Amino acid sequence: MSGWFDETLHQAYRQGLREGRLLYDSETAHQRLRLFENPVFGRVLTLDGVVQVTTGDEFIYHEMMAHTPILAHGAARSVLIVGGGDGGMAREALKHPGVGRVVMVEIDAGVIEFSRKFLPGVSAGAFDDPRLEVVIADGAEYIARQGESFDVILVDSTDPIGPGEVLFTETFYGHAKRRLAPGGVLVTQNGVPFLQPDELRNTMRAFRALFADATCYLATIPTYAGGPMAFGWGTDGQARETAEETLAGRLAASGIEGLRYYSPAVHKAAFALPGYVAALIG
Ligand code: SAM
């Protein structure tokens, strides 16, 4: 063992993480799970050789993906998470007292079982919250069924390789739109535009055909290497226009404290896109 983990997500760019103690390395029915310790990022979970979550920087991704749509919406009662097996997205969504129901549709029960055992701080009790329903299924199949609507849908998936590929299709997005309640917001994990421009371009093409408001917002997660990552944003409502002061009032009313990345000011700024990203979604 070289002592280093080389991420193999990109063709011509690699990131290396020093691999300290190897805690787990096994195949589930869907993907290869590997967990090791790194001096900077703490525990690092990879699926099929791609960094999924680290205990060091997961707060950035989970705060920005969950609180941005929920606070912009302003009256979210139900949230659907597609993927999210580590439990971090459920943890953040469940911080909102107004959210009465979170459904997590995760294809790989092994990720949940594993994360509860080896990454308990990521879910932080979310899996025991009575408001959470976990459904073990392919998110693409679940979303295609007739069923309840959601105020916010968060696609907290792997990259469009392996089981995650179906979650980046026009068909999936069309079904997701049909499962949104009026004024609902769809947010997607959409990769690092500098290194994965086609991923964002393709999603935005589909969103522009589906939603009155189709754009993305950005946040920089150190272990999603290559620059800021994009969160796809699609809605027919006005949620994106919510003023910073209104967001601040909603955050205060929620009683949520101790966030380390999200703030109303960061929320609004995240939608200010640099030219190279704006060109991808235009
Ligand atoms: N934060 C990570 C990122 O941005 O890449 C995502 C983390 S979360 C662990 C990704 C989850 O998506 C995994 O648990 C994986 O099993 C799940 N997943 C992949 N394809 C899926 C599908 N088709 N339906 C439901 N869950 C899926």
Note whether 67 and 206 are same-domain residues. Answer: yes
Note whether 21 and 159 are same-domain residues. Answer: no
163 lines ligand 1 (CB under 6 A): yes
Answer positive or negative: Cα dihedral of 44, 5, 82, 240. Answer: positive
Ligand 1 pocket, mutate which of 105, 106, 196 (most atoms under 8 A from CB): 106
| Residue 34 CA to ligand 1 centre (angstroms) | 14
d(CA 254, CA 169): 34
| Residue 31 CA to ligand 1 centre (angstroms) | 10
Note whether 165 and 106 are same-domain residues. Answer: yes
d(CA 116, CA 130): 16
106 lines ligand 1 (CB under 6 A): yes
Is residue 236 part of the annotated active site? The answer reads no
- Contact present, 75 and 87 (Cβ < 8 Å): no
Q: Where are the beta strands (DSSP E) in the chain?
A: 4-6, 16-18, 22-27, 32-38, 42-47, 50-54, 78-83, 101-106, 132-136, 150-156, 180-189, 213-219, 229-235
> Which atom of ligand 1 is closest in space to residue 139's alpha carbon?
24
What is the number of domains present in the chain? 2
Percent over 70 (pLDDT), the chain: 99
Note whether 88 and 23 are same-domain residues. Answer: no
∠ Cα 146 147 149 (to 5°): 125
Note whether 94 and 50 are same-domain residues. Answer: no
Instruction: Give residue 38's pLDDT.
Output: 97
Nearest to 265, CA basis, from 75, 90, 92, 67: 67
CA dihedral 135, 136, 140, 144 (to 10 degrees): -50
What's 206's domain CATH number?
3.40.50.150
Note whether 68 and 182 are same-domain residues. Answer: yes
- pLDDT digit string (tens) for 50-61? 999 999 999 999
Note whether 132 and 246 are same-domain residues. Answer: yes
Ligand 1 pocket, mutate which of 113, 156, 189, 216 (most atoms under 8 A from CB): 156
- pLDDT digit string (tens) for 254-275? 999 999 999 999 999 999 999 9
Instruction: Give residue 70's pLDDT.
Output: 98
- pLDDT digit string (tens) for 193-213? 999 999 999 999 999 999 999
- pLDDT digit string (tens) for 116-157? 999 999 999 999 999 999 999 999 999 999 899 999 999 999
d(CA 276, CA 29): 38
Note whether 30 and 76 are same-domain residues. Answer: no
Note whether 180 and 259 are same-domain residues. Answer: yes
Reading the block at residue 192, the tokens are 């690092």
- pLDDT exceeds cutoff 60 at 1: no
What's 45's domain CATH number?
2.30.140.10
Note whether 49 and 67 are same-domain residues. Answer: no
- pLDDT digit string (tens) for 221-236? 999 999 999 999 999 9
Place of tokens 């371009």: 201
Judged by DSSP in three states, 101 sits in strand
Note whether 67 and 47 are same-domain residues. Answer: no
Instruction: Give residue 60's pLDDT.
Output: 98
pLDDT band at residue 161 under the 50/70/90 scheme: confident
Note whether 156 and 223 are same-domain residues. Answer: yes
**Averaged pLDDT of the chain:** 96
- Contact present, 105 and 125 (Cβ < 8 Å): no
DSSP state, 180?
E
CA dihedral 271, 261, 92, 162 (to 10 degrees): 70
- Contact present, 56 and 119 (Cβ < 8 Å): no
Instruction: Give residue 282's pLDDT.
Output: 82
> Among 48, 57, 151, 156, which one carries the catalytic annotation?
156
pLDDT band at residue 28 under the 50/70/90 scheme: confident
DSSP one-letter string for 26-46: EE-SSSEEEEEEETTTEEEEE
> Which atom of ligand 1 is closest in space to residue 138's alpha carbon?
24
- pLDDT exceeds cutoff 70 at 26: yes
| Residue 28 CA to ligand 1 centre (angstroms) | 13
d(CA 96, CA 91): 10
Instruction: Give residue 257's pLDDT.
Output: 97
| Residue 8 CA to ligand 1 centre (angstroms) | 17
Instruction: Give residue 2's pLDDT.
Output: 67
Q: Cα(first)–Cα(last) distance of the chain, in Å?
A: 45
d(CA 45, CA 1): 17
Type of residue found at 38:
N
Q: Which structural domain, as residue segments, surrounds residue 31?
A: 4-54
Judged by DSSP in three states, 224 sits in coil
pLDDT band at residue 159 under the 50/70/90 scheme: confident
